[in-house]
Structure formats: structure tokens, C-alpha cells
């Protein structure tokens, strides 16, 4: 795949190369390269692309303490992603949330309850996070000759909130022990043992440098020490934080920020700054060869996904649309929803609710709110059983 990628890159102009480093990469018709949108989500089921099987939120999957089920959830997510991709590509529909690169799992450590995205992680324990992360990556990427979908370990590194300050905050006093024993083990496990294809760099600064422009994180640790051969993608808008007033302000403009990010090792941008890369080349801030390295990694991943091959050579193209939100898939989601439940305290044996009660008061709008239950990065389930509906189903018509 890498040799095929290099052969293509050698034929491209600087402008064409720079275009391929954008998440919404345009087509290059003269070289037979179709457009591709790298941004798709699959945190707990295929997200933002219509109907799909929805599994418990990641924090709930972690509560199962069952990596085999987590892997099955990843496998079903990638199966449904392939099924939809097979349909989309028939109509040359390569829009956002329709590709094979799923930006999941989130393996950050949930240490601060004020962090609004903690529920999309596997919790506070580095070992449990690593085991669940590896399992989900196995499910997403598969074990065939052609990669099923590409998983992404995010957000590298030490990204655990608070959200409000993430675009300008600098983590500069973290102890080496906390870095290596708390925040990095899961990433190291997914890179060295999980074979994850993508790593997403985080918004904030680490030791003075934005994570997506950090030689310490992206070059020294990720590539040199851990031997990561895959691609690095920026969090969305992270490169513009380099130069936007009120954010990191480590670069004067988009061109210099883009050059800094690519040279540091951020191959793909979710954002708009990389459009200035041709100007950065003209200004001498970055060389064409440095851009080539990133383009080769990106095209290599697309070759590994079979994106340039005929359907006859890609086993996943035979996955039918009928598997999406199928009965078998939804049954597994229900089983996992039951497995995630943890009863912390049952004072006076309040549960189970007595069926001979005549009236039960249920307080709060969330009891009857289906969308509240979908969590973050959700797809459209065919049906949601709310708390209120579930209680009514269990207790029957005799209870008001």
C-alpha cells in the first residue's frame, strides 16, 4: 500500500498534495483519486449517518467489564459503516459522516467530573481503558486482508477537560509519573498492541506547545519511542487555535501554523488552515517533501481500506444494507444495556418496584425524553425505550 501511495504522490502538484491533507479531501480526476471525507464517528455505534444500531455510551460499556462484548459492538459498528458506505459510493456520495475512518475510541482518562465529555471515555482506570480500547479497535478494523474501517485513538494527550479552557490552556506542571502511569498507557497499548491506524491530537498545549504541534508528543513519544506508523489527525479546529487571537497564539497566521503542525507530525487537519500550505511552501516554512510524507500516510490508509480497488477484491463490499439496525444487532445492544447496569445501593429493598402498587410518581422530564438517552456522537435508533415506557412495560396497565 505504501509503494502505491508513493507512486501517486510523485505525480501530484503541491496544491494537489495539500488538498489531500484536508479532512474533506477533494478528488484528483487526472490521477483517478476520488474525493474522500475523513470525518466519521462511531463511538458507540455508527453516528450522524441516519439509522444505526446504538450501543450504551462508552462509560456504560466500560461498566460491563467485558471486552468481548465491547469488541462485538465495534464489529457491528464497522459492519454498518461498511453497509452504508457501499450504498453511498454507488452514487459517488462522499460527504461528511459517510466514510470508513471512524474517529473512535476516546481513551482519555475521566478524572474530573466537571469534564462534560467524560461519559464518552472508558472511565478513570488506565488499564481498563486500554483493554476496552484495544477491543473496540479490533472490532472496528477487523482482521481481513483489507481493513474494515480505520479506528482512531483520541485525544492525544492529557486531554481531560475542563472544556472551557481547552483552546488556550497549557499543561506545564504535570509530573512525569502521572504522564506515564495515568495518561499515556492506553495510547501506548493501542499503538503497540492494538494496531490502531489513526491518532487524534488534542486541543490544549502540553509543556508550551499545542498538542497538534508538539514534537515531544507526536515525534519523540508517538513515532520515535512507540514506533507508530499510522496517521495523525487534528481535533477539529485545533490548528486554527495556533494563530487565532485568544487561543494559543504560537503562530502568526494559518500558513505558519499549518507548516508547524505538519512538520511536527499532524498529517490530516479537521479544519480549514491547511488550505494555506501552498503559501507556506512558497514562503519556505515547509518543504514539499515534508508534505509528501503526510500525503503518503493518508493515501496508504485509503489503499489499506480498499478505497481504490474494485469491489471484487474487497470482501466488505458484499455487506448488504439489510444488516443496518437488524434484529440481531439490536439484541446485542439490549444485552449490553442490561450488562452495563450497576446497582450501587438498594436501601430497604426498594427495588424491584412492587407490581401491586397503584400509583408510582416519576419525576423529571428526562424520564420521557428519548433523545436524552442517545448520549454523545449518536446515530438514529429505530426505537428508544424511555425510562417511563420501560417502567410501564414492566408494571403493566394496573399501575398508574
Distance CA 40, CA 81 (A): 9
For residues 266 and 203, is the Cβ–Cβ distance under 8 A? no
Q: Which of 295, 293, 259 is nearest to 275 (CA)?
A: 259
Q: Which residues, 6+ apart, have CB-to-CB distance to 311 below 8 Å? A: 317, 318
Gap between the Cα atoms of 317 and 23, Å rounded = 23
| Alpha carbons 387 and 127: distance in angstroms, whole number | 32
Q: Which residue has the cell 508528543?
A: 217
Where in the sequence numbering do the catalytic residues fall?
235
| DSSP structure string for 213-253 | G-IIIIIIIIIIIT---SEEEE-TTTTGGGTSTTS---SSS
Alpha-carbon distance of 110 to 99, in angstroms, equals 28
Rounded-to-integer distance, Cα 170 and Cα 202, Å:
12
Q: Which residue has the cell 479490533?
A: 138
Residue partners of 83: CB distance under 8 A and separation at least 6: 319, 320, 321, 323, 324
Amino acid at each position: 500500500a505504501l509503494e502505491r501511495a508513493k507512486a501517486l504522490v510523485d505525480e501530484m502538484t503541491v496544491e494537489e498534495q495539500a488538498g489531500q491533507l484536508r479532512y474533506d479531501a477533494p478528488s484528483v480526476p487526472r490521477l483517478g483519486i476520488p474525493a474522500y471525507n475523513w470525518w466519521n464517528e462511531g463511538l458507540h455505534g455508527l453516528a450522524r449517518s441516519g439509522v444505526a444500531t446504538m450501543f450504551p455510551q462508552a462509560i456504560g460499556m466500560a461498566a460491563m467489564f467485558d471486552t468481548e462484548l465491547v469488541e462485538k459492538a465495534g464489529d457491528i459498528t464497522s459492519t454498518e459503516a461498511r453497509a452504508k458506505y457501499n450504498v453511498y459510493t454507488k452514487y459517488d456520495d462522499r460527504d461528511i459522516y459517510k466514510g470508513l475512518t471512524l474517529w473512535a475510541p476516546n481513551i482519555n482518562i475521566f478524572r474530573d467530573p466537571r469534564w462534560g465529555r467524560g461519559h464518552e471515555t472508558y472511565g478513570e482506570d488506565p488499564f481498563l481503558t486500554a483493554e476496552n480500547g484495544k477491543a473496540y479497535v479490533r472490532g472496528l478494523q477487523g482482521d481481513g486482508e483489507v481493513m474494515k474501517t480505520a479506528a482512531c485513538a483520541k485525544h492525544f494527550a492529557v486531554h481531560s477537560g475542563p472544556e472551557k479552557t481547552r483552546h488556550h490552556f497549557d499543561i506545564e506542571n504535570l509530573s512525569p509519573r502521572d504522564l506515564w502511569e495515568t495518561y499515556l498507557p492506553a495510547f501506548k497499548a493501542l499503538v503497540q498492541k492494538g494496531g490502531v491506524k489513526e491518532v487524534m491530537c488534542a486541543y490544549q498545549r502540553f509543556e508550551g506547545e499545542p498538542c497538534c504541534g508538539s514534537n515531544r508528543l507526536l515525534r519523540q513519544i508517538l513515532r520515535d519511542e512507540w514506533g507508530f506508523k499510522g496517521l495523525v489527525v487534528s481535533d477539529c479546529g485545533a490548528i486554527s487555535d495556533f494563530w487565532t487571537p485568544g487561543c494559543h497564539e504560537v503562530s502568526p497566521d494559518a500558513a505558519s501554523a499549518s507548516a508547524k503542525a505538519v512538520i511536527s507530525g499532524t498529517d490530516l487537519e479537521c479544519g480549514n488552515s491547511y488550505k494555506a500550505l501552498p503559501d507556506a511552501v512558497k514562503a519556505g516554512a515547509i518543504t514539499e517533501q515534508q508534505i509528501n510524507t503526510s500525503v503518503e500516510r493518508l493515501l496508504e490508509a485509503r489503499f489499506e481500506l480498499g478505497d481504490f480497488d474494485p469491489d471484487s477484491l474487497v470482501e466488505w463490499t458484499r455487506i448488504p444494507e439489510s444488516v443496518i439496525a437488524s434484529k440481531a444487532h439490536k439484541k446485542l445492544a439490549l444485552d449490553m444495556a442490561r450488562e452495563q447496569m450497576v446497582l450501587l445501593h438498594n436501601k430497604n429493598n426498594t427495588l424491584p418496584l412492587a407490581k401491586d402498587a397503584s400509583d408510582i410518581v416519576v419525576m423529571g422530564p428526562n424520564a420521557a425524553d428519548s433523545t436524552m438517552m442517545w448520549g454523545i456522537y449518536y446515530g438514529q435508533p429505530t426505537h428508544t425505550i424511555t425510562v417511563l415506557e420501560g417502567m410501564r412495560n414492566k408494571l403493566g396497565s394496573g399501575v398508574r
